[in-house]
Structure 1
Amino acid sequence: MNYDKRVLMIAAENDALRGAKVGGVADVLRDIPAALAGIGTSVDVIIPSYGFLARLPNIEICTEFNVFFGGANSRVQLLKVPSENSVSNYVLHHPAFAPQGEVVYCNDEHQPFATDATKFAFFCLAVAEALRLGAIARPDVIHCHDWHSAFLLILLRFAPEYKSFNEIRTVYTIHNLAMQGVRPFKNDPSSLEAWYPQLYYDGLQICDTHNPFCVNPMRAAIRLADRVHTVSPTYAEEILRPSNHPLGIYGGEGLEGDLQQRSDSGELIGIINGCEYPKGVRYAAPAKKKLVSVAQESLVQWASHSAVLASAHFVASKRLQQWAAKKTRGFNVTFVGRLTEQKAALLVTRLRSGKLALEEMLDALCDRGQFVMLGSGSSYLEEAMLKLSGSHENFIFLNGFSAELSLNIYRYGDLFLMPSSFEPCGISQMLAMRAGQPCLVNGVGGLRDTVDHQKTGFCFNGENAQSQAQAMLTEFRRILSMHEADPKSVKDIGAAAAEVRFDWQAVAERYVNELYRI
């Protein structure tokens, strides 16, 4: 297959650039452009500099141009980063792209999205100007990722100076529907009319469904793009239903009506993401001694960032010493991920017994094995994990992140736990499967699409959070019994998982056929 067109991708993250990764969207922006380039496509990727990306080695200044944003002219630089392949990686540089230090995302406790929305609204206008001025080659397809890039679609639709780009095909990918970037239309420094004072827009098309006085960039992009894309087929179905967070149901997050319209017209497409499979790489499990050593070194690195030793690091060090002293391998359960409501709420769901689901699982595991968790996130979830690690010798809570440590955990474990309440696609389960570790997952979104129950892993299901947590415990106990009765049966499922391929080349061909071609 050959697709000799030009695609421009706009996003907040890109793991092809060192330091520009926070979540899974960065992996996609690293891998899918290369896969598209492999079938003859010219791909340009552009993100903000956040200050630090402008200092990458051998970066090239392409041009400078004025952007009229927020009622004033600003001078923006377009920079090009050297690439190992034919993909062109660009960053736009201006001090306003690092408003709270050199970080990708800012956290406004009292005004959600205020700082980030202003930053990305400026970024999107700069992209539009770069296109208008010819600083970026005119694409055949403009592909926006998540709400951070959605302001570009608003500008292309409503700003007359960009009317000549209206015939360009537009695609919008939803990576996380829960984050929508909602801000007021006016009467606020971080509002649509403050950013773009000369823009005449149709508020009915781009307003928030809950607050008609606010712009919802996520909704705007869903309504304005030629194609809307989710990163798994099942997630594309799930977001057509209403959400009910108290019951643990995550659906359209208020946008199910708009999504249903796009689905009915055949313009909502679910395509599962791919995964990297480097040639010649072996995924043999490391010795326990090696894993413990890497974990201890990670603890030292994390602890060195604070004058006071965190309790979690102290307890983890003690648990690692106890684990290292055990002579039998046992059954090793693992978890690698962010400690957020999405990823870990089921673990702290209280069951009929009165205990937390994870507590029941640790009790079931008892001295037959070890549970190793690597992650950080909300203080509530971190405190819950710390408390459980203090009361259960078989639970090691490593409160941080290390790429080397995560790879060793993927390779070492016997069962990878991924109990996400919702999962647009998921990458951790693919990495565990790649290493031959079977996964126990909630049967939602991309987890359902990637894990084949009792063939390449294990799934549990439930109508709400309570029933899902109970089902997770039941399935976990069944797997423990299965392992005790016939350890090879679980290993065989892991071996089958290692044979599965989520190929980026195949994904790229589906992008072309289902998203890009008219």
Structure 2
Amino acid sequence: MRVLMVAAENDRLPKCKVGGVADVIRDIPYALAKHEVEALVVVPDYGQNDLNRTFVGDIAVPFRQHLETATLWEVERGEGVIQYVISHSLFSAHGGSIYCNDDEQRPFATDASKFAFFSAAVSEAIEHGLFQKLDVLHLHDWHAACVAVLKEFSPRFVRLKTLRTIYTVHNLALQGIRPFKHDESSLEAWFPTLSYDGQMLCDHQYPHCFNPMRSAITLCDKVHVVSPNYSSEVLRSSEPDRGFFGGEGLEHDMQIANRYGKLVGILNGCEYPHKQESKGDQTMFLNASEALLFEWMASSPQLSSSHYLAHQRIKQWRDAQEQGPVVTSVGRLTDQKALLLRQEVNTGVLLDELSSIAAKIGGRIIILGSGDTNLEFTFTQVMARNENVLFLNGYGQHLGDMLYELGDLFLMPSSFEPCGISQMLAMRAGQPCLVHKVGGLSDTVVHFESGFVFEGEDLGKQQSALISTFTSTLAMYDEDNEKYNQIRECARTQRFEWHNVAKDYINLLYSTT
């Protein structure tokens, strides 16, 4: 069997990662290869200079009433996997950035055009035999969804129509919605001769708009979400005011997919190297944090308050080493991850309350991440109010790896989490996690066995449950070290192997029987 994976990110290649999808695209092809599935992976070429390119062919792509030329390059081959990139000025026009942040008046406009062209280039490359002898086409997130649209509605793509097509949803909250017409970034502007069924492709809330994610869910042979529990959550309507995030407007389409046996939930995996990293100490971490802070400071002519306060906190902590628990958090700062932490309480926000609880036993909270500017400011204010909080407003892979090894409790109170990788990495390092019972967090952490889990029917109950569970967890750490270490060891021994995930891909997604 020969599978082509189409995605926007791939951490196998340099400077080609923003989120967790890049980890999946990096790892799953090699796991599939061990089951005698040859995997091909193609992503846009964002202008990386350090790729070892081998020319495969030029691709003539009709787009926006012009005939554009893209180029397919092979950049790596081995272990049963072939890595490709497609180059064109649309992909590399933004200084190597994978995604662009368009204003609220025209959301996704730049990226939607870029990935529509990428989808068209992939479709043309398939049609002209540049990817030979394919059996399965595996599309990831809205960025690759236009391949399914062209397969269904363009009569030009004969070879493409023969392929079994799988669609994986990594982030249901981002759907890439654009107008059908009357905009340079619209379906009819990209493909002016395409005859399509608007009822199948339109957004439910904005019927004059094209929804790439809904289109792929409707048109593909199988729809894959990245954990079993999440596959039931997406069948329900989101209720953000109550703190529940489910189908995000696509629950009806997910219900239809489920009814016809198209919807499959398969948990993502994690790599387990034979040699684990040695547990570092706080001094090493503080030194590494200071060095990275200096890099962040030097990258801007203005000194941010978050960097200044973080540097002061590092100097303060060096002079007063605490012996209490280290609570850690690593990830993008979005409402998905931090909605609960920013809820207002008497002492400020909920994160203030958690820091006060930790301070009673000498505990410290270290947060590494960036994202929403309002959340960054909120976390900076929390750091200013609490001497036991360090907020590092940025990201560095090395610092994240150190925190997984260093921490005593990993905090991941996501309001929704299709799968999650951070909890797996923390558990792998022997750091128990405190998680919200949603999505893949529910599938990976068992309360009082391999970690700590809270839940609640609405935002208020979730807040109370988080505070209560955090309090009891730190009390166990402080008063029953033997029990806590049993949970720590259980977390360390959990395995979510890509080898088993690959078998499920083959049996539940790729097989026609």
User: Would you call these one fold, judging by a TM-score over 0.5?
Assistant: yes
What is the Cα deviation at residue 276 of structure 1? Answer: 0.6
Q: CA RMSD in A?
A: 1.2
Q: Counterparts of 1:44-59 in structure 2 under 5 Å?
A: 44-50=40-46, 52-53=47-48, 55-59=49-53
2 CA distance for matches of 1:83 and 1:165? Answer: 24
Partner of 1:233: 228
State the SS of the aligned residue for 1:161: coil
Distance 1:73 1:439 in 2: 52
Q: Secondary structure at the match of 1:416?
A: strand
* Aligned counterpart, 1:14: 10
Superposition pairs for residues 211-360 of structure 1, below 5 Å? 211-279=206-274, 281-351=275-345, 353=346, 355-360=348-353
**How far did 1:75 drift?**
1.1
Partner of 2:413: 419
Unaligned runs of 5+ in 2: none
> TM-score normalised to the size of structure 1?
0.96
Aligned residues with identical type, % of pairs:
46
Specify the alignment match of 1:104 in structure 2.
98
SS in 1 for 2:344: coil
Q: Which residue of 2 aligns with 1:188?
A: 183
Work out the CA distance in 1 between the residues paired with 2:278 and 2:50. Answer: 34
1:206 is aligned, of 201, 206, 219, to: 201
In structure 2, how many angstroms separate the alpha carbons of the residues matched to 1:99 and 1:307? 24
Alignment of 1:110-509 (within 5 A): 110-279=105-274, 281-351=275-345, 353=346, 355-367=348-360, 368-509=362-503
Question: Structure 2: which amino acid aligns with 1:475?
Answer: T
Question: Residues 287-320 of structure 1: CA distance to partner in whole angstroms, max 9, x if unpaired?
Answer: 2211111111111111110122221111111111
Matched residue SS, 1:389:
helix
**How big is each residue's C-alpha offset from its partner over 1:406-464, in whole Å with a ceiling of 9 and x where there is no partner?**
11110011000001110000000000000000000011000000001110000000112
C-alpha separation between the residues in 1 aligned to 2:79 and 2:343?
Answer: 46
Offset at 1:354? 6.1
Cα distance in 2 for partners of 1:35, 1:406 equals 25
One-letter code aligned to 2:385: S
TM-score by length of 2: 0.97
Tell me the amino acid that sits aligned with residue 10 of structure 2.
N
Give the count of matched residue pairs.
510
What are the Cα deviations for residues 317-369 of structure 1, in whole angstroms up to 9, with x where unaligned?
A: 11112222224421110010111110111101124x46411111111111521
Question: For structure 1, which segment, 364-373 or 223-232, has the greater mean C-alpha deviation from structure 2 after superposition?
Answer: 364-373
Displacement after TM superposition at 1:90 (Å): 0.6
Q: Distance in 1 between matches of 2:482 and 2:296?
A: 37
Kept after mapping to 2: 8 A contact 1:131/1:138: no
User: What's the secondary structure of 1:347's corresponding residue?
Assistant: coil
1:23 aligns with 2:24: no
Q: Structure 1 residue runs of 4+, over 4 Å off?
A: none
Per-residue CA distance 1:145-172 (angstroms, 9 max, x = gap): 0000000000001100113332311100
1:43 CA displacement: 0.7
Secondary structure of the equivalent of 2:340? Answer: helix
Task: Identify which range, 158-167 or 407-416, moves more after superposition.
Answer: 158-167
Q: Distance in 1 between matches of 2:385 and 2:206?
A: 46
Unaligned runs of 5+ in 1: none
Q: Which moved more, 1:209-218 or 1:315-324?
A: 315-324
Q: Shift in Å at residue 247 of structure 1?
A: 2.1
Contact 2:435 2:453 in 1 (8 A): yes
**1:56, distance to aligned residue in structure 2 (A):** 2.6
Q: Deviations over 1:257-296 (max 9, x none)?
A: 11001111221000000001112x2233212211111111
- Structure 2 CA distance for aligned equivalents of residues 414 and 215 of structure 1: 46
The Cα shift of 1:83 comes to 4.1
Q: Following TM superposition, by how much is the alpha carbon of 1:485 offset from its aligned partner in structure 2, in angstroms?
A: 1.3
